[in-house]
Structure 1
Amino acid sequence: MAATTSFIIFIIMMSVVATTNSLPFVVFHGIADNCTDKVSIITQKLTNWSGSEGYCIEIGDGYNSSIYMPLMNQTTIACEKVKSMSELNDGYNIVAISQGNMVARGLIEFCDEAPPVKNYVSFAGPQAGVASPPCSEPEVCSKLDTLIEQLGVYSQFVQEHLAPAGYIKIPDDIPDYLRGSEFLPKLNNELAICRNSAYKERFASLDNLVLIMCDQDEVLVPKETSWFGFYPEGPGWANSTVLPANETMLYKENWIGLKTLVEAGKVQFVNVSGRHVEISDSDIIKYIVPYLNGSVTLSMVESSSSSI
């Protein structure tokens, strides 16, 4: 019995210990945050549990830059930082939190001559946009509401001075969204006149995409945006059922290669219990760590997948 128990413990330990060819990973934090404090703790936990070296990529000063710097500028800085890190030359993995997913995906799609991203873990990311300002910090909420009310979310000033404005997508104002939003339409390849095949090819080249949704998320509206789900366009959207990813035009027409990844079995749709960006250590070990240490198995993929 003792020998059997020891063997089981050994197998469990080996499941979270990195293989010799583990790649480094980078972390992108969310709005009104920085790479110190809790994000540094998360990064260190992921390093300890995976055995892979992790780096939090800071943009500007962190807190203020995440609120006020346009997302395209943030993405450009992230691109240059990643290309300057020799540790990432052979490829790397990404873990992104909330708004950090906009920078992470921009990095994957827009960054020329960058090292390849292998696995991308999106935690509570506004992938399909949000129908109302993402609000959890009182300071951010107040400034967002005031500027949007006075100038309009798709005005040039708001787009250039509030990062979250770059992924607000009001379902009954799509023409203004496509004309005025300076980030998400490009990221999701929604602009028919300038759809870029390179963005699709780069995103579809991922080895694995893990989309984690928090089941009690009230910051992202709808919460299903974490899975690329969104409201149908047009009046009455607030009372409409959210479209799952595979019923959206982004998926059906394969604008960014999401359909390609799904059909190849490379996408995991994960639902965890908690509010926005809340996740237990056990769920981190179960759903994130395997994609950082090269220990992903078919059984792990099957157990973490949920139907879209």
Structure 2
Amino acid sequence: MNLKAVTFLVLFAVTAAQTVSNDTLPLIIWHGMGDCCCNPFSMGHIKKIIEEHVPGIYVKSLMIGPNIAADIENGYFMNVNDQVKDVCEQIASNPKLKNGYNAMGFSQGAQFLRAVVQRCGHKVRNFISIGGQHQGVFGLPHCPTLPEKSRVCEYIRKILNHGAYHHWIQDYLVQAEYWHDPLNEELYKEKSVFLADINNERVINQTYIDNLNALNNFVMVKFLRDTMVVPIESEWFGFYAPGQDKDVLPLQETELYLQDRLGLQKMEGEGKLHFIAYDDDHQRFNEKWFMTEIVDKYVA
């Protein structure tokens, strides 16, 4: 093989590699409650296996605060609106993210990251929610569902519900900011400082709709045996019918969908909404499934 042929092949290989690299968008990931950006058994591991699976990809695992300890603590006690603002600024100041990115949130990090999509106006191609609670929660983790066994859980839930909408709890307790009381929808809509806002339940913020509808894909993973999220259907944007806490409506029967307060009807009509079920408990999934059904389809 002569020198010209060798030179051509080298240049071709470099160009092809650059094309693949430029076509692979960076990925933002946001952890759930009690976790942090860099735990080697959770988000650190997720970041590592994605980087190994998708050559050249840049993965940013979000840290809220100056260190890991602060990141964990802020998942409980830092106003979610302040967290979202911090993330918007982190992304805007990162040159590797200026041309757009994909976003993947885990558990409560999913609804927080959706707020980033809606509020920050970044170029986001695909948003993946792994067990996120998009209509909030109205129950305690790991509480039994059988009435005869759940009396204590019910008492605790009622105590939390009694205080969840006090302004100082809403300002400082993260989980209260997506506590959704179906027995008193009007109080929830009036006092919720985070969830009611990003779900456009008080006023219609057209920017939220436009930014969400700009996605190519909105992917929601629901864990069919989830013992952390009540009701589980919140992971697919479903929730209790107003005025009671027994019957659960799928997304398509909720007021949020019927009034199209987030443009989800339009997104579903365009094939942008994807509902994926996984038969296990909260955040328990097989890596092969994760790579094949999530990373290969919506990240790589």
TM-score (norm 2): 0.83
Structure 1 stretches lacking a partner, 5+ long = 1-17, 137-141, 294-308
Task: For residue 268 of structure 1, report the CA deviation from its aligned partner.
Answer: 1.1
Q: Matched residues in 2 for 1:282 and 1:150: separation?
A: 39
Q: Matched residues in 2 for 1:154 and 1:130: separation?
A: 14
Task: For residue 102 of structure 1, report the CA deviation from its aligned partner.
Answer: 2.1
Which structure 2 residues correspond to residues 82-121 of structure 1 after superposition, within 5 A? Answer: 82-111=91-120, 114-121=121-128
Q: Matched residues in 2 for 1:149 and 1:127: separation?
A: 20
Match of residue 293 from structure 2: 287
Q: Matched residues in 1 for 2:226 and 2:161: separation?
A: 28
Number of corresponding residues:
262
The letter for the 2-side match of 1:117 is V
CA-to-aligned-CA distance 1:263-296 (integer Å, 9 cap, x gap): 1011110001211111111210122112111xxx
Amino-acid identity (%): 29
Match of residue 66 from structure 1: 75
Is residue 238–residue 254 contact of structure 2 (8 Å, CA) maintained in 1?
yes
TM-score (norm 1): 0.81
Which structure 2 residues correspond to residues 18-167 of structure 1 after superposition, within 5 A? Answer: 20-37=22-39, 38-51=42-55, 52-60=57-65, 61-111=70-120, 114-134=121-141, 149=160, 152-167=163-178
Match of residue 190 from structure 1: 201
Is residue 134–residue 164 contact of structure 1 (8 Å, CA) maintained in 2?
no
CA-to-aligned-CA distance 1:44-70 (integer Å, 9 cap, x gap): 112221332211011122100001111
Alignment RMSD:
2.0
Match of residue 298 from structure 1: none
Structure 2 stretches lacking a partner, 5+ long = 1-19, 144-152
Q: Larger relative contact order (C-alpha < 8 A, sep ≥ 6)?
A: 1
Change in 2 beyond 3 A, CA 1:170/1:39? same
Q: Matched residues in 1 for 2:275 and 2:161: separation?
A: 38
Q: Matched residues in 2 for 1:150 and 1:127: separation?
A: 18
The letter for the 1-side match of 2:114 is R
Q: Does 1:266 pair with 2:272?
A: yes
Task: For residue 21 of structure 1, report the CA deviation from its aligned partner.
Answer: 0.6
Task: For residue 178 of structure 1, report the CA deviation from its aligned partner.
Answer: 1.1
> For 1:285, what is the secondary structure of its paired residue?
helix
